[in-house]
Each structure stands twice: as C-alpha cells, then as structure tokens.
Chains A and B, each alone.
Chain A
Amino acid sequence: MQEHTQLSDKEITDDLVSPIIRSPKWFWMTIGSLGLIMLLGLSGYVWELYSGLGVTNVQRPVYWGAYITNFVFWIGISHAGIMVSAILRLTQAEWRRPITRAAEVLTLFSLIAALSNILFHVGRPWRIYWITPLPPVIIGYDFARGIWPNIRSPFVWDPVAVGTYLLSTILFIYTCLLPDIALVRDKVKSKIPKIIYSVLALGFRGTPRQWKIQATTPILLSALVLPIFVSVHSIVSWDFAVSIAVEGWHSTIFAPYFIIGAIHSGVSAVACLMAGLLWLYKLDKYIKPDHFDAIGRLLVIVATIWLFTLFLEWIFALYPLEDPEIALRNMQVFQSPWNYLFILFLFTAYIIPVSAWLFKNIRRSAKWMFFTTILVNVGMWLERFLIIIPGLSRRTELSFNWGSYSPSLVEMGLVAFTFAFVICGILVFARIFPIIPPFDVKEGMRLRHVIKIGKRNISAVVRE
C-alpha cells in the first residue's frame, strides 16, 4: 500500500467526527426516503399480521419464498463483514484501518435484517420466543405444558447460531468503539449528547493499560468470532441440507458452498459500502484506490473458489444419475423462467464482475467497484432464490402437489424494507459514531514513515 496522506491527529479528528457534529446536507433527505420505503414495507407487514400468510404467495408446494431467500442473502452479507475485519485484524494488515468499522457495522445491520425475515415468515411472530428454553416461571402459561425447544431440529440450531453471532458482533463493535466514543464525548459540546457519550465511553481515558487491552481484545475476539462465522452459515445451509425430502438441497457440500458464497457476496458488499461511504463522506484521504485494488484481488480469488464449489455441487448432484435430481437441474437450466434467471445469475455473480476485476483500472476505481459489487449481490440473491424455489416447485410424483411461485407485493415490499433498513442503519450509525475509527487511523499515521530508497520515496510501516 504505497499511497499515503500524512495527517495530524487534529485533522483526523475533525475529518472523521464532523459528520457527527453536523449532519451532511443529504442526510435527512436520504433517511426520509429510506424511511418511506421502510414504512411501505412495514404497512405490508401489518396487513400480513392482520390477514395471515395468505397475503404472500407462499403456498403448497413452495413453502419457502422471498423471505427465506432474503434471510439467507442477508446472513451471507453479514458474514464477510466481520470476517474481513477479523482476518485483517488477526493478520495485522495495515490497510484494515479505514474499513474494519464499516465492515463490522454492515454485519450488525444485515444480521438484524436477516432475523427480521424470520419474523415476516412465521405465522405467529408473537410466539417467536417459543424458540428459547425459558422456564415456565418466567414465561407463564405458554411453557406450563413443559414442552421445550426440540434441539434436534435445525430451526433451533439457527436461532442459537444467529443469536450467538449477533450478540458477539454487538459486543465486538462496542469494544472496538470505546476509544472513539471517548473521542466523540470530548468533541461534542451539547449537554445531552455529551452525557450519553460519557456513559457509553465508560470513563475511557487512553492510559497505556487501556490501549494494551484495546489492542489485545479485538484479536482475541476475532479468533473467537471467526469460528462462529463459519458455523452460522453452515447451520443455515443445514436448514436445507439435512432435509432428505428435497433432492436439490440434500447435499454434503452445502455448508462450504454456502460459506464461500457468503464470503463472495459479503466481501462485495463491503467494497460497495466503502465506495458508497467514500462518495458520501468524501473520505478520499482515508479510503484509497489501493484499498479497492486489494479487495478486488481478494474478490477474484473468492469468486473463483465459489464458482468451483458451485460446479462441485452440480457434479455431486448429477453424478449418481438419479431421475428426480436430473429433473430438478433440467428445470433450473432449461425451463422458463428459471433458465433466464440462471443465466442472469451466472453473468451477474461471476462472469461480468470477475472479468472486470481482472483490469487494474477497474479494481482501483471506486465507481466501477461500486457497480460491479452491486452486480455480484444481485447475482447472489438470485442464487439463493434458484436454490430455494425450483427446489420446492419441482414436479414430484403426486401431480396434485405441483405448483410454482412468484413473490407477492407484500413480500417484495418487505424485501425492499430490509435493504432500506440496512442502508438506513449504517447511515444512522455513521451519524452517531465514527464510521472510520479515528484512533486506529491515528496509530497508523504514527507508525508510517516515508523512507527513501534510491530516487523513490516509499511509504513504510514500523511494527513492534
């Protein structure tokens, strides 16, 4: 990473805390527009609560539709956020500094979006707490029957894994945020925000002991969060894979296939978010073309591994030459509308973006990276859709059980809600806390020096 702009501590503080002190002009307008989309989606949900799941197009034999597709999609996005942050922290990669916070925050909001899809999907969301093993003394009559969650069901593993991931992510973000909350506490002048930030900062003062713990804790947490990250998408994939009734889902490669797919879509989402933040907050002193170049290179590798696992998934499915499996794959690739979606999926998830990322100019361009990574996520949403819907709508032996699926307006509204929610959540977070960690950037500046080799000045990093 050769590009470098040397800045003083005060400049960094002013740059990165200014969106908190004063809202940028576009902020409230954007939040208002996103709020409107969310309101429309939620009004559909109110209708769904009132009328029941009949307002969705989910019906026999396709019991899982846009909500579950969206759930898997957002779980996937949530993965790479914390993965990027954890891996870069563990390897002490210098270029991590401006991007870790945004990646972690993306994880947080996409996880909440994923969980909201489960709420939309279940028939009686007010009994969602049945999934928890709360004793009758706390919950009352509902558990008085003495029945507990069935831990043999993947639908119990799911909330355990996703809940673990969400809680760990919140704690991870909060711990890494402490010094920056302390900075904002000292920077804001208004009384009430100052009190709130003071409480949240817990009296952080920047003593050597606190910095030492601050350096060690994220590394320890990264080591703990990475196994959670691997387990969550494995468990989500087992929602499908442990079901022997659906041929297209019952595959041993589903866990690694889902994980690498999650990394592909998630790292793309991180790049997309970086480009968006760079544009919105004018962060070009911090997020450099080198960052996009590094992520672009990583994405070429990740995408190609993902394509390989997709290929393996097909090989494993077709190799036994079993009729139901062949019929399903035939439907996915040759029957309308799945064939059009399949082509669109391949082009958007791999062929167009990876071909583009082979060119250095595109990798180093925030604008190009923004559009190509959006393409990836269009493709990855379609991938999940193509796993779930054709899998369930394949023609089984019982002809009365044939049917297809297309999302209803309510479902589309709630899918749009989740996208608006994640974008809105990140923007509101960036309004309250620094989206690039100033303390981390300051440390990076301090450890970086320009050294002269021959006739060139090279930016070098000093490490303990």
Chain B
Amino acid sequence: MANKSVLGLFVDENVVGDTLSSLRKSGYKDNELEVMTGSPYPEGTFGEAEPHHKLFRYPIFGAVIGFTVALIITVGTQLAYPLVTGGKPILSIPPMLVIFYEMTLLFSVIVTILGALFESRLPKIFMGAYDERIMTEGYIGLVVTVSESRIKKAEDTLKKFGAESTKRGWE
C-alpha cells in the first residue's frame, strides 16, 4: 500500500516541538516525521532527529578523480604527439603541476555539489504534502508519512496540537 502524508502548518517552534514529541510517544517513528521550514533553524530546535551525512568525503573522491583526469590529459596528450617545444622536456613537471592543481580542485567542487544534491535527497520530483506558506510566510510544516490506515489519526493529532491547517499528499 502506498504511503500517504499529511502536513500540519504551525506558527510557533515550541508547539512543533511538543507535537513531534507527542507523535513519537504515539508510536510514530523518526523516519515517518519530517519538519519543513522556510529558513534554517538551529539543529534540534524542534527535537527532530539529527540528520547525518557524509558530505565531507565527497571532495576527496572528487580530488582523486580530478588528479587522475589531469594525469591522463597532461601525460596522455603530450606522449601522443611528442613534439619538443622551447627545448623543454616532453613531460615537464612544473607546468603539469598547474593542470593537476586546477583539475583536482575542479573535480572536488563538482563531486561536492553532486554529493550535496544526493545528501539533500534532491532532485525530488513529487513534493508530497507541502504548502507554499512554509517558504514565503515563515510557517513551520510538520509532515507525517504513514500508511493510509494511520493517516487519519496523524491528522487528528496535528489538529489537536493547533495546526493552523492540514493538507494531505502522497509520497
């Protein structure tokens, strides 16, 4: 059975925190609960589960790829047509270092960006339960994603805690 999600819109951070605790006590798991805000809040403001990521590893992967690409470009192209210019060696280390440096950093940046998208779980094609007021007006959204049989209870809990409005969607 496909999962359904319900969004509750709140104004106050403390209310969101209380609602989240209550939902947890009612048996909802962390991976079924998600907070959405229009700007960053300090981590743990709502008592939400701390998101873990491995973003710091990506620049290193990128650097290794970039260095390898630079090695292929510099060594490969020069050996493919070994023409001596300016009396310099075919494989001259100082200019190769320039290319190594740039390529290493370039691929580090590219892979870091790809990593950031992956770790952010983006791109996300279907928005699920979402409301535009989260981004534009500073509302805090609390989404509960559960099976269809439990969605009504989740919605009632959100309303009970003072959600200004609720909205259903699907994941």
Contacts and interface: CB of A to CB of B under 8 A. Distances in A.
Interface in B122-146: 122-127, 130, 132-138, 141
A301 B83 CA distance: 48
Interface string B33-52: 01111111111000010010
A212 B123 contact: no
A156 B41 CA distance: 46
Interface in B116-171: 116-117, 119-127, 130, 132-138, 141
Given A10-B137, A161-B102, A167-B109, A205 B116 contact: no
B78 interface: yes
Contact of B80 (A146, A150, A174, A179): A146
A224 interface: yes
Contacts of A175: 113, 116
Given A160-B103, A224-B112, A203 B123 contact: yes
Contacts of A464: 42-43
B53 A217 contact: no
Contacts of A9: 38-39, 137-138
A8 to B, nearest CB: 7
A148 B117 CA distance: 35
A183 B135 contact: yes
A207 B98 contact: no
A225 to B, nearest CB: 7
B19 interface: no
Given A148-B80, A206-B134, A235 B40 contact: no
A152 B92 contact: yes
A112 B83 CA distance: 33
B40 A205 contact: no
A95 interface: no
A83 B135 CA distance: 29
Contacts of A206: 36-39, 134-135, 141
Contact of B55 (A213, A231, A446): A213
Contacts of A231: 98, 101-102, 105
B119 A224 contact: no
Contacts of A454: none
Contacts of B126: 203
A206 B109 CA distance: 23
A140 to B, nearest CB: 17
Interface string A399-440: 000000000000000000000000000000000000000111
B88 interface: yes
A182 interface: yes
B112 A183 contact: no
B96, B122, B141: residue with the most chain A Cβ atoms closer than 10 Å? B122
B40 A147 contact: no
Contacts of B27: none
B120 A442 contact: no
A168 B109 contact: yes
Main secondary structure of the interface of A (DSSP, over half): helix
B105 A205 contact: no
Nearest to A444: B39
A52 interface: no
Contacts of B110: 167, 171
Given A9-B39, A148-B77, A164 B55 contact: no
A220 B83 contact: no
Contacts of A150: 83, 85
A205 B169 CA distance: 14
A13 B103 contact: no
B112 A213 contact: no
A148 B43 contact: no
B97 to A, nearest CB: 10
Contacts of A171: 109-110, 113
Interface in A124-174: 133, 146-153, 156-157, 160-161, 163-164, 167-168, 171-172, 174
Interface in A76-95: none
A18 B82 CA distance: 59
A205 B80 contact: no
A183 B73 contact: no
Contacts of B81: 146-148
A228 B55 contact: no
B77 A213 contact: no
A398 to B, nearest CB: 22
B119 A209 contact: yes
Given A167-B106, A207-B36, A214-B40, A220 B112 contact: yes
A271 to B, nearest CB: 27
Interface in A170-210: 171-172, 174-175, 178-179, 182-183, 185-187, 202-210
Contacts of A438: 39
Nearest to B49: A208
A94 to B, nearest CB: 14
Interface string B64-85: 0000000001100110110101
A221 interface: yes
Ranked 8 nearest A-B pairs via Cβ: A9-B138, A203-B124, A148-B77, A442-B39, A186-B132, A209-B51, A202-B123, A211-B40
17 contacts: A9-B38, A13-B135, A149-B77, A156-B95, A167-B106, A168-B105, A202-B117, A207-B34, A207-B51, A208-B37, A208-B41, A213-B53, A214-B40, A217-B112, A221-B109, A224-B59, A228-B109
Interface of B: 34-43, 48, 51, 53, 55-56, 59, 73-74, 77-78, 80-81, 83, 85-86, 88, 92, 95-96, 98-99, 101-103, 105-106, 108-110, 112-113, 116-117, 119-127, 130, 132-138, 141
